[in-house]
Amino acid sequence: MTTTGRRRALGQHFLRDPGVTRAIVDVASLTPADLCVEIGPGEGALTFRLAQHAGRLLALEVDEALIAALRPRLASLPHVELRHADARRFEYTTLPALRPSPGGRVVVVGNLPYSVSKPILERLVEARTAISEIVLTLQKEVAERVAAAPGGKRYGALSVLTQLYCEARVAMTIPPGAFRPSPKVDSAVLHLKVLPAPRVSVADEGNFARVVKAAFGQRRKNLANALAGGLGAPVLMARQWLLDAGIDPVRRGETLSLEEFSRLNSFACPDPDGKMKGLKR
Ligand code: SAM
């Protein structure tokens, strides 16, 4: 593959604005007690600044050519390790043991390629018990979807399933000109702080995710129809779950708060005898 082809495939839009790189690193508020994990160091725009503040830095990069160019530049920094790894498959549960101090945090920072930002974000949320904070530069629209409040068109399954476990905010937006080459759209820095416990009680997390995805699966339908379609249940049954949870069945998924999804989940939960056939798909 040519360098241009590889750059496009790996979403390589490098940060070129020192003011922006400084502002991103500031969001992470790193200390010498912290382990920072950088996803996709590329040419090192964020790496050297992160290394100034973190007690230890582990940088994960898939592109061997970039690794070969960056490694000698990092050689004088013994607390920095550059690893050839795919952030979609990395074993994040190993991270707490690598902290320079037991009281330190594990902070993941990355300017992510747009094409893999969602799977990487989902993987990080899945690995949340090993992570304290996440600072990701993403397509602005995706960052806004994650941090969205109920009621708007950006609020969806990604918002609910992230905010269940994390406090989410868009820390800043970044114009295309801050990158080389410039992407076609604006970017934003998403700051996630992992909560000590899920925001609302969820008895069966797998079922919760299925219910939430079904609620947003057919956004133009009311909740009873969307749940019935998404979970393969009769509409009357879906209607009854909603009524039992105190939710009007003609509402739409995007109006439900996390508390309401939690309530709905306890009624739309399949019973242990499996009587509600077709629900647990
Ligand atoms: N951090 C650099 C910067 O801000 O200039 C580079 C950012 S660039 C948008 C994304 C980087 O992630 C590239 O270096 C790319 O090779 C790397 N990358 C792409 N997919 C990856 C993956 N699955 N795991 C780890 N790194 C990846």
Q: Is the pLDDT of residue 277 over 80?
A: no
Last residue of a domain, which of 168, 194, 220?
194
Confidence of residue 268 (pLDDT cuts 50, 70, 90): confident
139 and 58, same structural domain? yes
Confidence of residue 274 (pLDDT cuts 50, 70, 90): very low
232 and 188, same structural domain? no
Average pLDDT over residues 121-131: 97
190 and 211, same structural domain? no
In a domain, 279, yes or no: no
Res 118: pLDDT: 93
Last residue of a domain, which of 151, 174, 194?
194
Task: Supply 256's token pair.
Answer: 């439900």
Average pLDDT over residues 245-272: 89
Average pLDDT over residues 15-35: 98
Q: Is the pLDDT of residue 236 over 50?
A: yes
| pLDDT tens, position by position, 153-192 | 999 999 999 999 999 999 999 999 999 999 999 999 999 9
Confirm or reject: Cβ of 41 under 6 Å from ligand 1.
yes
Last residue of a domain, which of 194, 227, 246?
194
Confirm or reject: Cβ of 45 under 6 Å from ligand 1.
yes
Average pLDDT over residues 258-263: 96
Ligand 1 centroid vs 14 CA: distance in angstroms? Answer: 8
In a domain, 277, yes or no: no
Ligand 1 centroid vs 38 CA: distance in angstroms? Answer: 9
133 and 187, same structural domain? yes
Q: What are phi and psi of 111, to 5 degrees?
A: -100, 100
Confirm or reject: Cβ of 136 under 6 Å from ligand 1.
no
Q: Which residue's entry shows tokens 């040419």?
A: 43
Percent over 70 (pLDDT), the chain:
92
Ligand 1 centroid vs 184 CA: distance in angstroms? Answer: 17
Q: Is the pLDDT of residue 146 over 90?
A: yes
Confidence of residue 220 (pLDDT cuts 50, 70, 90): confident
Q: Which atom of ligand 1 is nearest to the CA of 120?
A: 23
In a domain, 280, yes or no: no
In a domain, 235, yes or no: yes
Q: Is the pLDDT of residue 119 over 60?
A: yes
Across the chain, mean pLDDT equals 93
Q: Is the pLDDT of residue 207 over 70?
A: yes
How many whole angstroms separate alpha carbon 184 and alpha carbon 176? 7
126 and 219, same structural domain? no
Dihedral of the alpha carbons of 202, 206, 212, 217, in degrees to the nearest 10: 180
Domain that includes residue 263, residue range: 205-268
116 and 32, same structural domain? yes
Q: Is the pLDDT of residue 127 over 70?
A: yes
Res 12: pLDDT: 86
Average pLDDT over residues 25-37: 98
Confirm or reject: Cβ of 14 under 6 Å from ligand 1.
yes
Res 279: pLDDT: 44
Q: What are phi and psi of 45, to 5 degrees?
A: -55, -40
Ligand 1 centroid vs 206 CA: distance in angstroms? Answer: 30
Res 269: pLDDT: 61
Average pLDDT over residues 131-150: 97
211 and 72, same structural domain? no
In a domain, 97, yes or no: yes
116 and 76, same structural domain? yes
In a domain, 245, yes or no: yes
- As for how many domains the chain has, the answer is 2
How many whole angstroms separate alpha carbon 71 and alpha carbon 67? 6
CATH number at residue 231: 1.10.8.100
138 and 115, same structural domain? yes
Q: Which residue's entry shows tokens 């749940």?
A: 227
Res 1: pLDDT: 61
Confirm or reject: Cβ of 44 under 6 Å from ligand 1.
no
Ligand 1 centroid vs 126 CA: distance in angstroms? Answer: 20
In a domain, 254, yes or no: yes
223 and 84, same structural domain? no
Nearest to 134 by CA among 221, 210, 195: 195
Confirm or reject: Cβ of 86 under 6 Å from ligand 1.
yes
Note if the pTM is more than 0.85: yes
Ligand 1 centroid vs 76 CA: distance in angstroms? Answer: 22
210 and 160, same structural domain? no
In a domain, 19, yes or no: yes
Mutate to test the pocket of ligand 1, among 6, 7, 48, 61 (most ligand atoms within 8 A of CB): 61
135 and 240, same structural domain? no
CATH number at residue 74: 3.40.50.150
Ligand 1 centroid vs 153 CA: distance in angstroms? Answer: 29
Confirm or reject: Cβ of 128 under 6 Å from ligand 1.
no
